[in-house]
Chain A
Amino acid sequence: MIKFDQVTKRYPSSNEALKNASFTIEAGELVFVTGHSGAGKSTLLKLIAATEKPTSGTVLIANQNISKLKPSAIPFMRRKFGLIFQDHKLLYDRNCFENVILPLHINGITGNEAAKRVRAALDKVGLLQKEKAMPITLSGGEQQRLAIARAVVSRPSILIADEPTGNLDASYAADIMAIFHAFHQVGVTVIVATHDALGMSAVQNRVLHLNQGQLTHTQSGLDGVHHE
């Protein structure tokens, strides 16, 4: 599903954010990307989501080389993903319902079908009662759950979350993690970047650990089996 082959990303006037990374993520996996801030976690996710292109090496998403994608094809590639950000990136000039429906409109889905799907997504994250509320009136945890609803409403096969619990206290963070696990259970590929070692201790899943741009572990959390 996702294959990195000797991928290096260098930003202008800075060190290599990612050095020679090679790994594969299969469909339906739940993968954590860990490391200190600045270790290259965000860069790795941006490469997967095709918002950045590698300086060298190849990134294959569903057998498509993202370096070779035409600019006009990139939006369609991005629709395969549900993206969740640390700062939520919600639109504060519209209510919850309208925030969640945006990806459906982009996909050309409107009317009753869209409304049904939006309510289903809001229900999954426990915000069905708040569809008319403006995002600014929600707590941090609720905002993040709203962002998740928006990410999953178009039923993407891959969920990518960059520090989704970074700004949240422990109980909210556990809520969010539980939601990701639930999506993993139904077969969605979930990739979560986190620097939060505490949150990690509870999970028994595959970990990609980054240290200053270098991929140091690519093994499963419990049994230690190397996937690459």
Chain B
Amino acid sequence: MNNWLNQHIQTIKLVLGRMQNNALSTFMISLVIAVALCVPGLFYLGVDHLSKFTNHMQDETEISLFLKLDADKDAVTEIGEVLAKNDSIKNFHLVTKENAWQALKSKAEADNETDSKIADLEKNPLPDAFFIQAKSTEPETLEALKKELQSIPGVEHVLLNTDWAKRLSALLALGKKIILFVTALLAVALLVIIGNTIRMQILTQKDEVIVSKLIGATNSFIRIPFLYAGILYGLFGGLLAIIMLVLAVKVFNLSVQQLSSLYSSDFSLPLFNGQLFVGIIGFAIFIGWLGSYLAVSRSIASIKIN
């Protein structure tokens, strides 16, 4: 076991030494891997964060129930009783037209701009409204509840405030699929590039392969350093991708924050996403290993010792 470990450490040292000797080409291949992984990584980061954001929005599902303008106090109480009997409603509260009117006026006073226009209004244009928290967050259930509420006499309009979040999350699901597809395409390209690099290395190390075969090395022994080279390319590429990703997010956030402050939101992309980073490195190492594995077996077999 100790021997086995020792041998692998020796091999890794040998491979690292060779990479150091060819530092530029090692950097180049790592850079190619990094760029290829950084692009989908960046999109993933954006889409993932947005979809968490919208999921959160969907959790806070609120249904707004606006009554007809001419609804009197009795009608309001009646509807309140109907709502209280409904099983799928967690809780609700009433905002009367007078309260809403007051709230609007005081907000207008704080906000000087609209002051004059609000003051110009002679009578209260607002309806009574119920704000309802449903028990379920399932879109289908909410849709059914919305229809049910719509049919209550005296109700003018029912608004499900999650509609836009639903649309966005459907869009984001599509975005995730596109990212997956792009990643798969880039992975194929990486396999080819890594495979070619390893094949070239085997050719430049042809003497070593021949000598090793002559003195009794098995094909799997000869293969090991090349597999490690692939794995190390993947590791370096993955690390480089993460560095690039963090830098890109930093630059992005400058503009994103500016944009989201215009929408009075504090939305920004997180700098650190451990799961994604581990995923990127793991994926890069796997691609490096697979690329060299596919290249190495045939190349070594094709080198004849006579």
Of the candidates B3, B215, B218, which one forms a contact with A102 in the assembled complex, judged by CB atoms under 8 Å apart? B215
> In the complex, how many residues of chain A place their beta carbon closer than 8 angstroms to a beta carbon of chain B?
28
Bound CA span A165–B212, Å: 23
> For the complex, is B6 an interface residue (Cβ under 8 Å from A)?
yes
> For the complex, is B71 an interface residue (Cβ under 8 Å from A)?
no
Q: Which residues of A contact B217 (CB under 8 A)?
A: 75, 106
> For the complex, is B294 an interface residue (Cβ under 8 Å from A)?
no
Interface residues on B, range: 20 to 34
Asked if A75 and B7 sit within 8 Å, CB to CB, the answer is no
Interface string of B1-14 (1 = CB under 8 A from A): 01110110010000
Q: Which residues of B contact A102 (CB under 8 A)?
A: 211-212, 215
Asked if B216 and A79 sit within 8 Å, CB to CB, the answer is yes
Interface string of B63-99 (1 = CB under 8 A from A): 0000000000000000000000000000000000000
Minimum Cβ distance to chain B for residue A108 (Å): 6
Asked if A51 and B214 sit within 8 Å, CB to CB, the answer is yes
> For the complex, is B306 an interface residue (Cβ under 8 Å from A)?
yes
Asked if A78 and B6 sit within 8 Å, CB to CB, the answer is no
Minimum Cβ distance to chain A for residue B152 (Å): 80
Nearest to A147 among chain B residues (CB) is B211
Q: Which residues in chain A, 100-115, are within 8 Å of chain B measured between CB atoms?
A: 102-103, 105-111
Of the candidates B215, B219, B221, which one forms a contact with A150 in the assembled complex, judged by CB atoms under 8 Å apart? B215
Interface string of A84-102 (1 = CB under 8 A from B): 0000011111000000001
Q: Which residues in chain B, 272-306, are within 8 Å of chain A measured between CB atoms?
A: 305-306
Q: Which residues in chain B, 215-239, are within 8 Å of chain A measured between CB atoms?
A: 215-219, 221
Q: Which residues of A contact B212 (CB under 8 A)?
A: 102, 106
Minimum Cβ distance to chain A for residue B14 (Å): 8
Q: Which residues in chain A, 47-88, are within 8 Å of chain B measured between CB atoms?
A: 49, 51-52, 72, 75-79, 81, 83
> For the complex, is A117 an interface residue (Cβ under 8 Å from B)?
no
Asked if A78 and B214 sit within 8 Å, CB to CB, the answer is yes
Interface string of B232-275 (1 = CB under 8 A from A): 00000000000000000000000000000000000000000000
Q: Which residues in chain B, 3-37, are within 8 Å of chain A measured between CB atoms?
A: 3-4, 6-7, 10, 18
Minimum Cβ distance to chain B for residue A136 (Å): 13
Nearest to A88 among chain B residues (CB) is B211
Q: Which residues of A contact B208 (CB under 8 A)?
A: 91, 93
Q: Which residues of B contact A92 (CB under 8 A)?
A: 207
> For the complex, is B132 an interface residue (Cβ under 8 Å from A)?
no
> For the complex, is B210 an interface residue (Cβ under 8 Å from A)?
yes
Asked if A75 and B306 sit within 8 Å, CB to CB, the answer is no
Bound CA span A11–B57, Å: 78
Of the candidates B7, B18, B214, which one forms a contact with A83 in the assembled complex, judged by CB atoms under 8 Å apart? B214
Minimum Cβ distance to chain A for residue B59 (Å): 58
Bound CA span A46–B214, Å: 10
Asked if B3 and A110 sit within 8 Å, CB to CB, the answer is yes
Q: Which residues of A contact B219 (CB under 8 A)?
A: 75
Bound CA span A93–B213, Å: 17
Asked if A103 and B3 sit within 8 Å, CB to CB, the answer is no
Asked if A110 and B215 sit within 8 Å, CB to CB, the answer is no
Of the candidates A52, A90, A150, which one forms a contact with B306 in the assembled complex, judged by CB atoms under 8 Å apart? A52
Of the candidates A77, A79, A89, A108, which one forms a contact with B211 in the assembled complex, judged by CB atoms under 8 Å apart? A89
Bound CA span A110–B11, Å: 11
Nearest to A11 among chain B residues (CB) is B306
Asked if B218 and A111 sit within 8 Å, CB to CB, the answer is no
23 contacts across the A-B interface (CB closer than 8 A): A51-B305, A52-B306, A75-B216, A79-B215, A79-B216, A83-B215, A89-B211, A90-B211, A91-B208, A92-B207, A102-B215, A105-B7, A106-B212, A106-B215, A106-B217, A106-B221, A108-B3, A109-B3, A110-B3, A110-B7, A110-B10, A111-B2, A151-B215
Chain A residues proximal to chain B, CB less than 8 Å: 46, 49, 51-52, 72, 75-79, 81, 83, 89-93, 102-103, 105-111, 150-151
Which 3 A-B residue pairs are closest in the complex by CB-CB distance?
Answer: A78-B216, A79-B216, A110-B6
